[in-house]
Amino acid sequence: MACAAVMIPGLLRCSVGAIRTEAASLRLTLSTLRHLTLTSIMKSKRKTDHMERTASVVRREIVSAAKVCGAASESPSVKSLRLLVADRDFSFKAGQWVDFFIPGVSVVGGFSICSSPRLLEQERMIELAVKYTNHPPALWVHNTCTLDSEVAVRVGGEFFFDPQPVDASRNLVLIAGGVGINPLLSILRHAADLLRERANKRSGYEIGTIKLFYSAKNTSELLFKKNILDLVNEFPEKIACSLHVTKQTTQISAELKPYITEGRITEKEIRDHISKETLFYICGPPPMTDFFSKQLENHHVSKEHICFEKWW
């Protein structure tokens, strides 16, 4: 998985002055970072472990100390964190994830960044959203993590949207399932930043339209609803969304109802957006990513225009 930083509602935040102070004081020695990285890699042995699954994926060399500067409940099962990143050379592309190193926890977490790169540039912050599971890093986030907890992060991943000003204009179709919204929200926020830059400076990358398809069990599990709808309302001619719920048992609010479809995202909905100028980004459970990527290929969408990432 920003203002140009979109704020997470209810998120506890450091003051600007405190951020500067914390950034100056937050440091881990190189030997400590190296020990934390190597120890975590050696002890991460689960077959579905993040480090095993992503062993061949490109990572940046920088491992930066970071401090938890905010936390909020995004849903009954998902907690968001805002991290102040110490290393000024730390950067990422919209859609990428971080290796998440926790002192005292031998297993490395792997969490997608859901904020825009612009938030990091302006405030030295990144945002994560972590679903509750029995995996040790997720348990730590939900049960142990507090404001000022210190961790270390390293960027990795080949799933990203990073257009250059001279690149051809593209439309985006973002297809998310459950917590798979995280990297796609980062891409959506980055797209909004590009739209603002284009409007304000009359320069930069000229993006086309963006359509988000997002499915979850019910509306309480649709993460970042307000953030998404705020962007739709800010750019009504450029950004649109279709929110799907598969097991809704309560009444849907009047505010959400125009955007909600009961039932899964269908092949036809996606097919209607196929064009030579459109890039497709898919993130969700493996059966979902497999299904839509295969359907797009069957409709002669170039593989270079289909990007997907599976969450486990």
Global pTM?
A: 0.87
Alpha helix ranges (H) inside the chain: 16-25, 30-43, 50-53, 117-123, 136-143, 181-201, 225-234, 267-271, 286-298
Q: What is the pLDDT of residue 48?
A: 66
Q: Average pLDDT, whole number, for the chain?
A: 88
CA separation for the pair 63, 97 (Å, rounded): 13
Residue 64: beta bridge partners?
153
The CATH architecture one would assign to domain 58-156 is Beta Barrel (2.40)
Q: What is the pLDDT of residue 296?
A: 98
* Residue spans of the chain under pLDDT 70: 1-48, 312
Query: Which segments of the chain belong to CATH 3.40.50.80?
Result: 170-310
Q: What is the pLDDT of residue 239?
A: 98
Q: What is the pLDDT of residue 278?
A: 98
Torsion of CA 79, 85, 91, 92, to 10 degrees: -10
Domain 170-310 classified CATH 3.40.50.170?
A: no
CA separation for the pair 149, 145 (Å, rounded): 6
Query: Which segments of the chain belong to CATH 2.40.30.10?
Result: 58-156
* Burial grade of 289 (CB within 10 A; 0-12, 13-18, 19 or more): buried
